[in-house]
Amino acid sequence: MTDPASLADRVQEGELRIHELEDEADFDAAAEARRLLLERETDADLETIGDYVFPAERAEPNIENMIGATQVPMGVVGPVAVSGGAVDGERYLPLATTEGALLASVNRGLSAIRSAGGADARVTKNGMTRAPVFRVDGVAEAAETVEWVEENLEALRDAAESTTSHGELLGVEPYVVGDSVYLRFAYDTKDAMGMNMATIATEAACEVVESETPASLVALSGNLCSDKKPAAINAVEGRGRSVTADVVIPGELVEDRLHTTAEAVVEANTRKNLVGSAKAGSLGFNAHAANVVGAAFLATGQDEAQVVEGANAITTMDARNADDGATDLYASVSLASLEVGTVGGGTKLPTQSEALDVLGLRGGGDPAGSNADALAEIIAVAALAGELSLLAALASNHLASAHEDLGR
């Protein structure tokens, strides 16, 4: 193997650039050379960063200028009891986080859900989007372009689907703003999260639009997609998977496991998640859905920046009169734009692949798309558990003491 120290010296002397190391050495030696050089330049000790267990070559599609790996503590919650459209039964869910008390809180919520017979979950919509923006001379040309697009969906579908053996174009929604035309393409990307798939397919379709209409492509993404940014369009129209989970928890169980009442949880949800969020102008009406979504994304190799959209959720709570005269708690969480996959991207990295193995969801499902649907349903139930536990802690005034015990 090439000596990493000599490579680092060559970079420092200007004979090599850091990004050229892959041409001079194997991937592990290149990573070590960068790390040695960085240690010299910064006087930092990077021993722990360099102590990773997988071949650096495995990460080559996922990162440039690699120097090592960040290790985030991973735990497990569950079993997650779910009756879904793609998964039925109990699954353990790995979560990676640095926030103490999070997994304990989610497990408390899951305990209540399991004792109530489990939660229902369904993916209600599926479509990864990419929205290019075109320039036209004015509204007349904009209308001409939109009319052509609406009448020639099959031509766009043929062009888009010629770039992939898996993706399917579901539809194209046009938007006009002055002399700008936005076309929001939506795809079924099966078990892949599908952002790259959608981008490549849309580029091919844009070539057809340019050749057949007065429109000129300005940017392949015009931000109506909308990727990795808070956006109302994702809350309304969805992006990736739109998934909802719900459960009815008997009043006695609320008191026994969550140490509060259905009425108190409902009031906390209304005043905090609904009224408080509205006053704040929030795009998410939930307590902390991002906690579970983010931890699940890190553990299973999802694109962590898409937690922005993935946590775009609404939590609802309702007190229901039971036949025995008790008051039960209905709880739901609806994630409008959860972008997940079980193939491609970070899911191929070793630790993330193992986490998907825990779920039994590594790779493509049968039928195609079922594994990603199942992952979405499991995350939704775990997020619901997190909402139940946190709202119950707030309703019973136990939040601060729980963090003192577990999260300091």
Residue 271 lies in a domain: yes
pLDDT at 334: 98
Tens of pLDDT, residues 55-76: 999 999 999 999 999 999 999 9
Domain check: are 192 and 317 in the same one? Answer: no
Q: How confident is the model at residue 130 (pLDDT cuts 50, 70, 90)?
A: very high
Domain check: are 256 and 376 in the same one? Answer: yes
Domain check: are 215 and 259 in the same one? Answer: no
Residue 231 lies in a domain: no
Nearest residue to 340 via CA among 172, 161, 194? 194
Domain check: are 341 and 250 in the same one? Answer: yes
Domain check: are 390 and 271 in the same one? Answer: yes
Active site includes 303?
A: yes
pLDDT at 363: 96
Q: Do 186 and 127 contact (CB within 8 A), yes or no?
A: yes
Amino acid at 354: E
Domain check: are 54 and 188 in the same one? Answer: no
User: What's the number of domains the chain is made of?
Assistant: 3
Whether the predicted pLDDT of 357 surpasses 60? yes
Quote the domain boundaries for residue 13: 4-59
pLDDT at 2: 78
Tens of pLDDT, residues 275-290: 999 999 999 999 999 9
CATH code of the domain covering residue 346: 3.90.770.10
The residue annotated as part of the active site, out of 88, 99, 304, 318, is 99
Q: Which carries the bigger pLDDT value, residue 402 or residue 258?
A: 258
Longest dimension (CA), the chain: 81
What is d(CA 216, CA 85) in angstroms, rounded to the nearest whole number? 42
Domain check: are 119 and 17 in the same one? Answer: no
Whether the predicted pLDDT of 156 surpasses 50? yes
Tens of pLDDT, residues 215-235: 999 999 999 999 999 999 999
Over residues 303-315, mean pLDDT? 97
Residue 234 lies in a domain: no
Over residues 131-152, mean pLDDT? 98
Over residues 310-318, mean pLDDT? 97
Residue 230 lies in a domain: no
Q: How confident is the model at residue 401 (pLDDT cuts 50, 70, 90)?
A: low
Over residues 128-152, mean pLDDT? 98
The residue annotated as part of the active site, out of 90, 203, 318, 403, is 403
Domain check: are 120 and 136 in the same one? Answer: no
The residue annotated as part of the active site, out of 28, 120, 303, 339, is 303
This prediction has a pTM of 0.94
Nearest residue to 131 via CA among 86, 96, 176? 176
Domain check: are 285 and 402 in the same one? Answer: yes
Compute the mean pLDDT over every residue in the chain, rounded to the nearest whole number: 94
CA distances for 177 relative to 104, 138, 139, 141, angstroms: 48, 10, 8, 12
Domain check: are 158 and 110 in the same one? Answer: no
Amino acid at 50: G
Residue 236 lies in a domain: no
Domain check: are 293 and 167 in the same one? Answer: no
Over residues 190-208, mean pLDDT? 97
Per-residue tokens: 380: 């939704």
CATH code of the domain covering residue 136: 3.30.70.420
Q: How confident is the model at residue 398 (pLDDT cuts 50, 70, 90)?
A: low
Residue 225 lies in a domain: no
pLDDT at 405: 58
Tens of pLDDT, residues 77-102: 999 999 999 999 999 999 999 999 99
Per-residue tokens: 5: 């120290």
What is d(CA 300, CA 341) in angstroms, rounded to the nearest whole number? 9
Q: How confident is the model at residue 128 (pLDDT cuts 50, 70, 90)?
A: very high
Tens of pLDDT, residues 2-47: 788 888 888 788 778 888 787 767 899 999 999 999 999 999 999 9
Residue 250 lies in a domain: yes
Domain check: are 371 and 316 in the same one? Answer: yes
Residue 294 lies in a domain: yes
Give the three-class secondary structure for 214.
Answer: coil
Q: How confident is the model at residue 400 (pLDDT cuts 50, 70, 90)?
A: very low
pLDDT at 17: 84
Per-residue tokens: 178: 């002055």
What is d(CA 352, CA 355) in angstroms, rounded to the nearest whole number? 5
Per-residue tokens: 165: 């053996």
Whether the predicted pLDDT of 186 surpasses 50? yes
pLDDT at 9: 84
Whether the predicted pLDDT of 244 surpasses 80? yes
